[in-house]
Structure 1
């Protein structure tokens, strides 16, 4: 698959330059890398600054085509992009970083795409206080108390603090099925 990407990017680069490539692994600019990958040049520059993409020439920020292909620029996303995936705003993503739900790796493009996608899947099973209260047949204050006392485990997500799978255990304990 990497070989296919290299061939594709080499062909696109030759087309972009208007001439055939003379070396197997050419040095390209951040602007060329951005065009090849379909991302803004600031995104490429941000990855270089964060150390996720090795620049071969600091003065002009030249990159080896193979480094661009192997770095997988699509592995990184900004806080705003993560917010879209998670369904929250920038401040919500920053709260998740502070709470330890996401790990920041830099300033411009701090988040790994896979980390954000995994968290988005996990959050689907997490509930708000009011949803958990409705399912348990109690008010939100009682759910909050359950979180404080350890009856329910807090997800560390302010917007969705309750693990949905724990509700069946609490309901079973209340109905006397579990000692």
Structure 2
């Protein structure tokens, strides 16, 4: 964090064309965007969402130390999460309402780490039809197995079945003797 603060101070001094006179200067959202290499709208959205404290609301001045600590890249919008998860915004909102993702406000409400972890987890989850196909049964039978807790529901309506549980069910099945 200390190294990052020094780097930002040096970049800010270069941007302004003069040395900084205070240890923790107030900077504009535009300057913060340049330092962080993100669009100014991203910084403004984080201020509006309360993820980045503005020290002067009228002109949106930010303390350099707050900008350094903010980790602007840690937040993403529902649309950005949809791209990572391969879903539309409605699908992402469904994941939020089911408790698989926690929303923190209206603008840029999702933590990038949470979305990336869920994306990795979802790789091991199956749709009903994929699970039915792997088990050699119909979708109705998979739904019955979920209701009777022979399989655990992931809480994701699009991918409700854990791949490892399907593998376990397959491993415990006895092979059917072939007729000669």
Report the TM-score when normalising by structure 2. Answer: 0.90
Instruction: Name the CA distance, whole Å, in 2 between partners of 1:8 and 1:80.
Output: 31
Q: Which moved more, 1:104-113 or 1:57-66?
A: 57-66
Aligned residue in 2 for 1:129: 128
Aligned residue in 2 for 1:62: 61
Aligned residue in 1 for 2:26: 27
SS in 2 for 1:63: strand
Report the TM-score when normalising by structure 1. Answer: 0.91
Aligned residue in 2 for 1:45: 44
Larger gyration radius, structure 1 or structure 2? 2
Shift of the alpha carbon at 1:175?
Answer: 2.5
Shift of the alpha carbon at 1:53?
Answer: 1.3
Unaligned runs of 5+ in 2: 176-180
Aligned residue in 2 for 1:102: 101
Q: Which moved more, 1:65-74 or 1:35-44?
A: 35-44
Q: Which aligned runs of 4 or more in structure 1 are off by greater than 6 angstroms?
A: none
Instruction: Name the CA distance, whole Å, in 2 between partners of 1:69 and 1:135.
Output: 49
Aligned residue in 2 for 1:36: 35
8 Å contact kept, 1:43–1:108: no
Shift of the alpha carbon at 1:71?
Answer: 1.1
Aligned residue in 2 for 1:76: 75
1:90 aligns with 2:100: no
Unaligned runs of 5+ in 1: none
RMSD of aligned Cα (Å): 1.6
Shift of the alpha carbon at 1:164?
Answer: 0.8
SS in 2 for 1:170: helix
Q: How many positions carry a matched residue from both structures?
A: 175
Shift of the alpha carbon at 1:173?
Answer: 4.2
